[in-house]
Structure 1
Amino acid sequence: MIDLNTTAKIMEEATYTAFAWTDYILFVGMLLMSVVVGIYFGFFQKQDTSDKYLFGGKQMGYFPVALSLTASHTSGITLLGIPAEVYYYGCSYWATSICCVLICIMVYYGFLPVLLKLKITSSFEYLQLRFDRNIRYITSTLFIIKILTYLPIVIYIPALAFSQVTGVNVHMITPVVCFVCIFYTSVGGFKAVVWSDTFQFAITVATTFAIFFLGIHYAGGIQNIWNQSELGGRLDIMNLDPALSSRTTFWGYMIGLTISWIADLGVNQGMIQKYLSMPTIKDVKKSLICFCISFSIIKLMCVSTGLIMYAKYQYCDPLTSNKIQKPDQILPFFVMDVVASKIPGLPGLFVAAVFSTALSTMSAQLNTLSGTIYDDIISPMMPEKRRTDRAANIIMKLCTVVIGVISTVLVLVVEKLGGVIPLATAVLGSLAGTTSGLFILGLCVPWANAKGALIGSFVSMFSTVSLMLGAQLHMAAGNIQYPRLPLLTMGCFENSTIPIDQFNHTFPAIYDRKPIINDDEVFFLFKLSYMYYPCFGVLVQITTSLIVSWITGFNDLNEMNPDLIPPVLQWLLPKQPMSEKEKEQYKSVEESLEMLRKQREAEAC
């Protein structure tokens, strides 16, 4: 017999303890420190040129840049969304650590050699050189749309956590935090972004480890967490289901997310900007290695936290028992329920960490987006004599403020939507497919021409967005459902005992992970899991581009600049004829070898 009285008592007594003064000090201190960083780099180390404002003078160290890369891609979606995803659907998400390694390898051997060889400062500039200016505009526009869609989600998540643990309305805290971020980003430029990211990431790491180790202790130890997670069907570590309609599988993450991250972690302008802020290729390599390790560790820690929470609440789910109202509130509830009373100030540190991830992501995107808007939209329309560093700085700062205000307002839309992981992945995946497809086409398919790339981009974007919207409408109508793994509440009531045999008898249904789909109503493409949206976009992009390129005439590979293709793929190009200088060098080498051969023959005789 399993006595659940203790679990019921804990759940009945779990309340959201108001912030103590130590919590408020930690939270406000994090915001003030970010402001101080902005003031220091804005007024005492002025970013008075566009090169300093966007690249930090290209003298940044690899370690702070690596931490900034990790921080800017570790948003509240990571800290709150991943544990909730694992708690409700299982831990397939662990495969993202492998995706990160694959992306870093692709970047180092694929795109970075091209970027550095061409000495360009923008991933969009590469597309202009490889295809034409129209492609550059399309891609930069997609980037702007994607960031404006993504930033409100990034802001909303920490505001939700703050509201959960303090009771303060989301609409009150959001403008305050956004103002802090807009201030230090616009005033301090790239250096303020990197160093504030480093400080904020330290808070995130400290909080994540504190919750992780305390959670292990209060969930009964590692062995109990593993056993209960296995019993509850959460340990789907190698869910190799090949069905494309399955919500999340190992293949979905390995294929779908890797392709999506080509746009987000590989050729993303924010990443390129940070690569170019370092003085040497060795620094870039070190930074990539550090980023890969730290990013993977954070992901795995968040996955583990989801399993810890399930072991803690396996018999009394907070969502089903109405302790929380939304799935993404499960981690704030866990923090306040389990660890808040154990360590003074931890709730404040937790909220500071969640906001730190949001500030890191938001500041990086604001800085990058302001530069993109200036370079690709505003600068071409300005007379050349007005394109001064002073004008560029003023315009980029104004862009930062405007984008920040728009993102803050759009939070009102995001809060009406559902779980953040599927939402963020679906939105970004529907746009990432087109962007990733363009870069894959440019780097790996040298015979594709500009007309093919242009038409392929429109077709890919239209079809992928249509796919996403159609699937979302069917989900809203109930024609497509992705049931959560079973959530139990029998432990929420006093004097509850369940025979273990009867309890086990109910568990085979847990492993039925198939989506519930009304086949008569749903078009077969709408059944596709949101994880495969990027694959669909890339497939449409490359197929359409090749067909159009074939109709309009493939590129003449003899005229292709080999610097536009990664060294590992230059075997696709015809061998270039040697220049006169190379011929002389080759002749000299041949003569030297011939002399050496004759000398050895004479010695042998």
Structure 2
Amino acid sequence: MYLNWADYGVLIILLCISISIGLYQGCIRSKQLSAGEFHIADGRMAVLPTAMSLLASVMSAATLLGIPSETYQYGTMYLYCIFTLWIAIYLNAYLFIPKFRQIGSASIYAYLEQRFSLSVRIAVTCTFIFVNILYMAVVLYGPSLALNQVTGLNMWLAVGLCGFVSTLYTSIGGIKAVIWTDVIQTIMMFSGIILTIIFGFIDAGGVSKVFETIINGDRWQLSIVTLDPTVRYTVWNMIFSNTLYNTALFACLQTQAQRYLCVHSTKSAQKTAWINYGMCVMMVILCECAGCLIYAKYHRCDPLQAKLISKPDQLYPLFVIETLGRIPGLTGLFIACILSASLSTFSSGVNSIATVIFEDIYKRISNKHSVSDRRQAMISKFLSGSIGLFIVFLAYLVSFMKSNLIVIIFQLIGSFVAPILGLYILGFFVPRVNHQNALVTFILCLILQTLMLVFANFTGKQRRPGGLLPTSVAGCSPSLNISHSLLIEQSHNSGYRILSMSPVWYSFNGFAITIAFGLMGIFIFGSNDPRTVDASLLSSFKELLPCFHVLRKKKTDATITHEEKDIGLDDHTIEQENML
């Protein structure tokens, strides 16, 4: 089914709004953006739009397409993410955010230089740039392919439009344009998915009918406790590894952590994190509902076995086309929902990459005092534009990756960002770890994780994922001519077990290897004298206790003014919190 004029109208409106916000923020409201405004909005953003932007940067189109397809294939075990998200946000709010804000830099990786060395900071920065560029390419290509094969929307047109529009408003308006555009795109995401769920329940015959179908189809899964590492979702990998995944995602990626520097105080940043948690929970539940509705519709005729689609990521678009296609504009709204997720994640990624290149690399090799603030802003804009265009070209290479979108994301974050989380934990809690130890540990972990990632995706030796639930083609039309060989192929499970490890476990592996190597490295590289390490760079476990924060509240309030001065915020920006 192809799009009609109403669908294209919705898409054009979305793109025009995005560009308009960038032009307004960059050319009208702030005719001469400073570097501080471009990267962290000078700490003047209100809490609510910043929280919405944080959600939009995390909930990519790959997530919106991936969670429903995973629910269709593996059941509802992903609901454990609600619990693991709470732990991750708690750690982020009371451990990472205070440290990042006290450092006084727009780059969160400045902490690693102060705690270890410049070489560690540069190594982590380069890793972030590499993984984020790959991630942005996945965010651009994956959804465009899914929409192309189901709706007929030209794939490279979608890639080009998303990349060009995001790059344009990001490079012109900076982080303010990104945040305010994210607000609109977050509204579009919620609107699109809520409408598909409402019409999906109507089409399926009601909530009770859908629940009965998923129970009978064994999709209601909350108690898979096997120790088999190849099973996609278990209680163990969701509680342990997914907690580390979410912590790394929210605390160790500049893309997300940069939002915490855009508000005026630590308290506001923590409030932003908790509001974002509530919205993330809502989005996960909505995506799980969408997955249940997809199964209820196709439980007797699996579109994959029937060859109606070629990849699980196309399940949700197919469901929308067959459920909402008869209503003009609603298919366009859903596509706008997916493209909004791509636009928001892409723009956030481009801005954050430009920020770390500027803060961690450019400032280290140039005399920043001899360069005017306006010129620094121009350099940041040039970096954003160049990075965005490069990622659009790189999106072509992603077509050679065979895994589902959400699997690729699990693997990328687990392989490259979880080791960064391990470095921060070593820096916070193990003062004896020195800079040589940290650098060697990080590099060794990256090598091991990269080898696992490459062999798992490009050798063809991995097994079929464990935990894949059965599907049926009994209700398919005979005209589809489903081959018996396809059913036999799906039941075949050859290949190397180690390469078939659930992608959820990658984060646990990356974190555990970093911690283990770091502790062993103390005996190889020697250790710091704990008394020589700046106490403000260290943390204690008591800081994670709620009672500790209640007792320290007055002290924290008294130091907010000093903290704001450190990151270059004006006193009058305190009033912005009232905007919430």
TM-score category (smaller protein): 0.7 to 0.9
Listed one character per residue, the Cα deviations across residues 21-58 of structure 1 (whole Å, up to 9, x for unaligned) are 22111110000000100110111122521011111121
Could you tell me how far apart the structure 2 residues matched to 1:29 and 1:407 are?
24
Partner in structure 2 of residue 453 of structure 1: 438
User: Which residue of the other structure, out of 503, 509, 513, is the alignment partner of 1:536?
Assistant: 509
* Contact 1:113 1:567 survives alignment (8 Å): no
Structure 1 contact 456–544 (Cα < 8 Å) conserved: yes
Of 367, 372, 386, the residue aligned with 2:356 is 372
Q: State the one-letter code of the partner of 1:562.
A: A
1:487 to 447, 465, 471: 471
* Greater displacement, 213-222 / 58-67: 213-222
Equivalent positions of 1:237-316 (< 5 A) are 237-316=222-301
State the SS of the aligned residue for 2:106.
coil
CA distance in 1, matches of 2:190, 2:101: 32
Within 5 A, what are the aligned runs for 1:87-236?
87-236=72-221
Q: What TM-score comes out, normalization by structure 2 length?
A: 0.87
Q: Give the drift of 1:494.
A: 6.8
Aligned 8 A contact 1:161 1:351 in 2: no
CA 270–515 in structure 1, closer or farther in 2 if over 3 Å, else same: farther
| Residue in 2 that maps onto 1:8 | none
Q: How big is each residue's C-alpha offset from its partner over 1:440-467, in whole Å with a ceiling of 9 and x where there is no partner?
A: 1111222211111111011111111112
Shift of 1:428: 2.4
Question: Which of 363-372 and 82-91 deviates more?
Answer: 82-91
Q: What's the CA shift for 1:340?
A: 2.1
C-alpha contact 1:109 1:566 (8 A) present in aligned 2:
no
Contact 1:94 1:300 in 2 (8 A): yes
Contact 2:225 2:236 in 1 (8 A): yes
- C-alpha root-mean-square deviation of aligned residues, in Å? 2.3
- Which residue is 1:382 aligned to? 366
Moved more, 548-557 or 446-455: 548-557
1:69: how far off? 0.3
Summarize deviations over 1:375-434 as a string: whole Å, max 9, x none.
Answer: 112222223444322222122112112211121112212223221111221122111222
Name the structure 2 match of 1:345: 329
Question: How far apart in 1 are the matches of 2:102 and 2:476?
Answer: 63
Letter in 2 for 1:303: E
Q: Gaps (5+ residues) in structure 1?
A: 1-15, 496-508, 572-605
What's the % identity of the aligned pairs? Answer: 28
* Residues in 2 aligned to 1:565 and 1:146: alpha-carbon distance in whole angstroms: 27
Paired residue for 1:411, among 395, 413, 416? 395
The residue that corresponds to 1:557 in the other structure is: 530
1:24 aligns with 2:5: no
Contact 1:245/1:515 (<8 A) preserved: no
- Is the CA contact 2:107–2:359 (under 8 Å) kept in the aligned structure 1? no
- Measured in 2, the distance between the counterparts of 1:217 and 1:382 equals 61
* Counterpart-to-counterpart distance in 2, 1:90 and 1:384: 53
Shift of 1:319: 1.8
SS in 2 for 1:448: coil
Give how far 1:206 is off.
0.8
Distance 1:414 1:371 in 2: 25
Q: Which amino acid aligns with 2:241?
A: G
Amino acid at match of 2:22: G
Q: Which residue of 1 aligns with 2:551?
A: none
Q: TM-score, normalised by structure 1?
A: 0.84
Higher alpha-carbon Rg: 1
Q: What is the alpha-carbon distance in structure 1 between the residues aligned to residue 132 and residue 27 of structure 2?
A: 28
1:477 aligned counterpart, secondary structure: coil
Deviations 1:449-495 (A, max 9, x none): 11111110111111111122233345x13555547322211211379
1:60 partner amino acid: M
1:57 aligns with 2:30: no
How far apart are the structure 2 equivalents of 1:19 and 1:212?
Answer: 20
Quote the residue 1:356 is aligned against. Answer: 340
Report how far residue 326 of structure 1 moved: 2.0
State the distance in 1 between where 2:13 and 2:228 align.
49
Please name the residue that 2:319 is paired with.
334
Q: Distance in 1 between matches of 2:473 and 2:499?
A: 34
Cα distance in 2, alignment partners of residues 85 and 214 from structure 1? 21
* Residue equivalent to 2:375: 391
1:265 deviates by: 0.7
Kept in 1: contact 2:462–2:500 (CA 8 A):
no
Query: 2:451 pairs with 445, 459, 466, which one?
Result: 466
1:211: how far off?
0.8
Q: Which amino acid aligns with 1:55?
A: I
Whether the 8 Å CA contact 2:415–2:507 is kept in 1: the answer is yes
Counterpart-to-counterpart distance in 2, 1:279 and 1:550? 42
8 Å CA contact 1:451, 1:549 repeated in 2 = no
Does the C-alpha gap of structure 1 residues 294 and 355 become closer, same or farther in structure 2, counting only changes over 3 Å?
same
Does residue 548 of structure 1 match 2:532?
no
Q: Is the 8 A contact 2:419 2:446 kept in 1?
A: yes
- 1:337-394 deviation per Cα after TM superposition (whole angstroms, max 9, x unaligned): 01221x3311110011100011000111111110111111222222344432222212
Structure 2 CA distance for partners of 1:570 and 1:44, relative to 1, 3 Å: closer
8 A contact 1:110–1:568 mirrored in 2? no
The one-letter amino acid of 1:306's match is: G
Distance 2:425 2:478 in 1: 59
Q: Which amino acid aligns with 1:293?
A: G
Do the aligned partners of 2:465 and 2:502 also contact (CA within 8 Å) in 1?
no
